Amino acid sequence: MPKKTVGDVDVKGKRVLVRVDFNVPLDKDNAVSDDTRIREALPTIRYLSGQKARVILISHLGRPKGKVDDRYKMDPVALRLQDLLGRPVRKVDDCIGDAVQAAIGEMRDGDVILLENVRFYAEEEKNDEGFARQLAGLADVFVNDAFGAAHRAHASTEGVADFLPAVAGFLMEKELAVLERILAAPERPFVAILGGAKVSDKIGVIANLLDKVDSLIIGGGMANTFLKARGLDVGKSLLEVDKVDQAKGLIADARAREVKIFLPVDVVAALAAAPDAEPKVVPVNQIPPEWMALDIGPASVEFFTGALKGAKTVFWNGPMGVFEMAPFAGGTENVARALAGMEATTVVGGGDSVAAVKKVGVADKITHISTGGGASLEFLEGKKLPGIEVLQEK
């Protein structure tokens, strides 16, 4: 069932607590270096403000581990939000308590305030009922627009919905619509590209996608476990030995379902994962014993690009190598370029994959860039996401 959204409820003059995902990167000067997540929340914020709601925004930033940490204060986020909105945004130095109640009491219809980092309280991640009740006491309606945190059962994503009517924001609605469509009724052929370091992070996703996709492309460190499952020696490459048998099982399941699995045919290898490493390209069956595979090679890029030809739906999550280091970024960047040139529905999720499409300047050529890497993976795994389950159905 589709979820109710802010457009389905009367918010005029009401205090609306909006859980946003403003967990954005900050540069060395403590300014926001990538404001994508803030921009994605603007339609919901502008709508609520235009409907004369009193908009109370709450988010986490970083991992302050349940205590106040000046590095993760929301002040730079408030400044950037104010610039983007083109109107004042008051930043409050707490997220519960008398000062917050006083600031909300002074709000007028249409005003926007941003509360302090909700993870400064350990009770947030514990989904403490008393803390959730205090958050709920700030408002009349709860809106969850933080898809990136929807897989977390925290006080500000799930617990607060026990005490307030809860609906989706427009970003949450958009994310769900795109992901539900590619899972339930993708235009075919449907190809999934999975990368990243560990198979263990994505075994459930692969197992669920084998019933949905026509082909599966696997790169990154997790490909080593599948190469090992096929009997190849991967040298000193990252390898999850305890997952090799599961990889064999997934390969067998794919064969039984007539789903093609594409693995690298060559890699960019080096003696160490270092920015000044001397890389060399080798076939996957010739990785030297002391070397490690750190990116897919040019033949693999060509192989994967060929596997994408004719696809009508593509989902990509996870880099093809150690993307943050220049010698090993090429594979990920070339996959990003390949997606950008396709006439297909292309969906990209996960920090490194999203960074890649931005770095090579093709973000505007991707159909949908998800704001939730972990959330999108759990959704595609078929899991129920706590922050979505609690929202009212239409």
351/374 Cα distance (integer angstroms): 9
Catalytic residues: 37, 198, 351, 374
Q: Return phi, psi of residue 232, to 5°.
A: -95, 150
User: In what helix (H) or strand (E) does residue 232 lie, and over which residues does it extend?
Assistant: none
DSSP secondary structure letters along 35-53: -HHHHHHHHHHHHHHHTT-
Q: Left, alpha or beta for 152 (phi > 0: left; psi -120 to 50: alpha)?
A: beta
Point out which residues pair with 369 in neighbouring strands: 348
For residue 168, give both structure tokens.
């989706």
Which residues make Cβ contacts (< 8 Å) with residue 137, sequence separation at least 6? 163
Dihedral sign, CA of 207, 213, 214, 220? Answer: negative
Cis before 319? omega within 30? no
Contacts of residues 125-128 at CB distance under 8 Å and 24 or more positions apart, as own/partner, are 125/66, 125/152, 125/154, 126/155, 127/153, 127/154, 127/155, 127/158, 127/159, 128/155, 128/159
CA atoms within 13 Å, Cβ hemisphere of 85: 27
d(CA 199, CA 231) in angstroms, rounded, equals: 17
Kindly report the backbone phi and psi dihedral angles of residue 314, in degrees, each rounded to the nearest multiple of 5, phi listed first: -135, 130
Report the amino acid identity of residue 259: V
Of 62, 59, 58, nearest to 30 by C-alpha is 62
